[in-house]
Amino acid sequence: MVSSTDIAQRIIEAVLAQRLAPGTRLGEQSLSMLFDCSRTLVREALVRLAARGIVTVSSRRGWYVVQPSHEEARDAFEARRVIETGLIRSARQIDRNALRRLRQHLKQEQAALKGDDVGQRSYLLGDFHVCLAECLGNQLLADTLRDFTARTTLIAMLYQSNHDAVQSCQDHVDIVAALERGDVEAAEQLMATHIGQVQAALRLGATNDPLADLREALAPVREASSTPAKKRPRKTDPHPAHPTETYLGALL
């Protein structure tokens, strides 16, 4: 029998695998049919995810996956930087079993990079950070990082990150190598640089003008035609009027 925790976990996993995009509508009825459970259980799972900042609800649109703003994107990466570098800084000698688990995770990442399953690759690259927190002995922060990693995955999708997955994997290899030789300071610096590079790869503009497209469309015709027309790159609207409709059966 499925539980609300199971439903929430499956949705988080789908986000980490980039199978649920920002703005995807999560209908209670659809989810209850997919998981063969009551809408009450589904609603309980969605309420939990809302408290964790993964989904949100409105009276008009219902439940949908969050679409982080520029400010929320910066806050999320800053939170990850503080948590993950702090975890490494406070780490004691990492034991052999933890190192074995981390090395196994790295092998899975490297294998996924050679395959064509983008979802699996995305999930493993994000899950490394959760795995690291668990190996450093802090389950509470590992759970927190899972949510922050899901949010930064949504941010990368929304703002079209161009970060190289191969480079991310290599960063993870270098961090584990530093921990293995006991160089905590180097591992901390490598983590800070890694998170900074992932954030820098986002296509975040200096400003976020939600009226930009409408402002251009409603400009006086004479003024608009007085200069040669320039094709503007289409921007991703963080609050589309019609959220993405995805058949969840193919995703979950």
Please state at what angle helix 118-135 crosses helix 4-16, rounded to 10 degrees. Answer: 110
The string of DSSP letters for 133-188 reads: HHHTT-HHHHHHHHHHHHHHHHHHHHTT----HHHHHHHHHHHHHHHHTT-HHHHH
Amino acid occupying residue 241:
A
198 pLDDT more than 80: yes
**Using an 8 Å Cβ cutoff, are 64 and 55 in contact?**
yes
CA 122 to chain centre: 9
**Using an 8 Å Cβ cutoff, are 237 and 208 in contact?**
no
The CA distance from 144 to 172, in Å, is: 19
Q: What angle do CA 113, 115, 116 make, to 5 degrees?
A: 105
* Burial of residue 84, with CB atoms counted within 10 A of its CB: 0-12 exposed, 13-18 middle, 19 or more buried: buried
pLDDT at 222: 66
The percentage of residues in the chain with a pLDDT greater than 70, rounded to a whole number, is 83
Q: 206-245 pLDDT, tens per residue?
A: 445 556 556 667 777 765 444 554 555 554 555 554 454 4
The CA distance from 53 to 66, in Å, is: 7
Higher pLDDT, 39 or 217: 39
Average pLDDT for the chain: 86
Sequence-distant (6+) residues with CB within 8 A of 64 are 23, 24, 25, 26, 55, 56, 57, 58, 243
Higher pLDDT, 150 or 242: 150
Q: How far is CA 177 from CA 30, 74, 191, in A?
A: 45, 28, 12
The CA distance from 189 to 13, in Å, is: 28
Q: What angle do CA 209, 211, 213 make, to 5 degrees?
A: 105
The CA distance from 90 to 170, in Å, is: 23
Q: 49-74 pLDDT, tens per residue?
A: 999 999 999 988 899 999 999 999 99
Which domains can be identified in the chain, with CATH numbers? Answer: 4-67 (1.10.10.10), 70-200 (1.20.120.530)
Sign of CA dihedral 17, 118, 168, 56: negative
How do beta strands 62-65 and 55-58 pair? antiparallel
